[in-house]
Amino acid sequence: MQTGDARRRSIARVQRIQTRFFLALATAMLVIGCGDDGTYYLEDDQIIEMRVISFSPALTRIIVDMGQSDLLIAVGTGDTAAPEFIERIGTPNDPDAEKLLRAKPTHVLLMSDEVEPPVNLAVLGTQTNFQVITFKPPKSVQEIRQILFFEFEYDPVTDVPITTTVTPNLAGVLDLPLEAQDARKEFDIRLSELAAAVPTDKVRKRVLVLTQTLPAMIAAGKRTVFHDVLENWNIAINVARREKDPDGLIATDAVKKMAPDVILLMMPGAEPLGSLMSDDRLDVFRDLPDVPAVRDNAIHLINDPMALEPSTSLPQVAAQMAKAIYPDLSESIDQAMIRSIEEIFEQLLENAEKERLRLEAQNAAIIDDADNTDIQGDAVDDQPLAAPVTPFATSQPTSAPASRPATSQPASQPAEHAASPSAVDQADELPIELEVEPNLHHESDTDEAEE
């Protein structure tokens, strides 16, 4: 039973919901008109056109992959993710005020560790009444997914103009939940396809990911998207996983101790690497001839324009990393990444159907086994007892129960078989909602291996 306070809170909550409903209904009555034929329509002057400026190539790429590039009216200078015809409008700290005001945006999107937007941009937003929404740079694959669509914080802009300052998501900001979910599902499937292209029994190489070598080396440590995709998708071991420097700075002695098999240089738009002795970017490795990656000439450049912009582009960047780590798998990785989503989805459904049939056969075998056990038990019970049954004898089991094989009793396998019906239900629901989960690797296993 509810206490008095809890009951009053429940009643108050219901009243608030009712009030919001009737206010929404009243608002809708003001903006909806009725035609002569009885059909309802929104007045043209009540429809707000969404006009978006993105100062983040990562957010731009996500919007494009959602199929919503027509919402973009301008992007930041140097944004390679946007179509060429979209106007470039400066940077968040130095926007072209004249172009920005002329564009008349409704939303300006940023990606920054700073909670507050640049002052001049905030002032322009106040003057012209556009929203400035800041997304934090993702540090994991899950955070990229949450930028697309975060179930726990989604509120359409028609209800709450800005979602939350903790985890804004494009589904809520743009009021496009279905498009965001579709893009997230394709993102998940592509990463899973990449993980499947690297055999689970393949010895994982030790990899050092560097985002720069001059004037100092900066490594991708544990709290980075690169670490997440390498380790948790079973692609490779990140040797910088234990580095403590918050900026990722590492010294040459640390590289010698890490002894990576492969070194990846993440440098968007960089020129191809030269030789170890001629390329200044490789100068730091000249005194490390015993490091396996240096000795075996396994230093590779990833110069994809989106290499340092974690977004829905991550699968294509991660595929380039995987091919550099395992050149012998290049063909299978390419084949995995060019498969159409429709083909992949059909394969997932086919696999789900096979799994459903397997579970049904397994459950049927369990039921048959249980029935046979009952029959054997009844046959034993029907046999005449060797001695009269006394009150003491009933509390002391005879040899009959011991004659039943332990493996034939369903109760001996509760965990596996109790879950089977729900697994079948999930398989049945797959055509409606397919979630692709990564083949996660437990980092504790890697710790033990390194030690």
Per-residue model confidence as pLDDT tens digits over 388-434:
444 433 333 333 333 333 333 333 343 433 444 344 344 344 443 44
Nearest C-alpha neighbor of 64 from the set 174, 142, 195, 150: 174
pLDDT of 238 higher than 60: yes
**Which of 61-70, 81-90, 385-394 comes out lowest in average pLDDT?**
385-394
Look up the CATH superfamily of 52-175: Nitrogenase molybdenum iron protein domain (3.40.50.1980)
Q: What is the mean pLDDT of the chain?
A: 78
With 0-12 / 13-18 / 19 or more C-beta atoms within 10 angstroms meaning exposed / middle / buried, residue 445 is exposed
Alpha helices in 36-118 (DSSP H): 57-65, 97-103
What CA–CA distances, in Å, run from 19 to 26, 155, 377? 11, 18, 65
pLDDT of 34 higher than 50: no
Contact 221, 103 (CB under 8 A): no
Q: In whole angstroms, what is the distance from residue 324 CA to residue 301 CA?
A: 9
Q: Which helix (H) or strand (E) holds 374?
A: helix 341-382
**pLDDT band, residue 311 (cuts 50/70/90):** very high
- DSSP letter, residue 54: E
Q: The pTM is what?
A: 0.69
Q: In whole angstroms, what is the distance from residue 136 CA to residue 145 CA?
A: 13
The residues spanned by each domain of the chain are 52-175, 198-339
From start to end of 76-215, where are the E strands? 87-88, 107-111, 131-135, 206-212
Contact 233, 442 (CB under 8 A): no
CATH architecture, domain 198-339: 3-Layer(aba) Sandwich (3.40)
pLDDT for 128: 85
Same fold, 52-175 and 198-339: yes
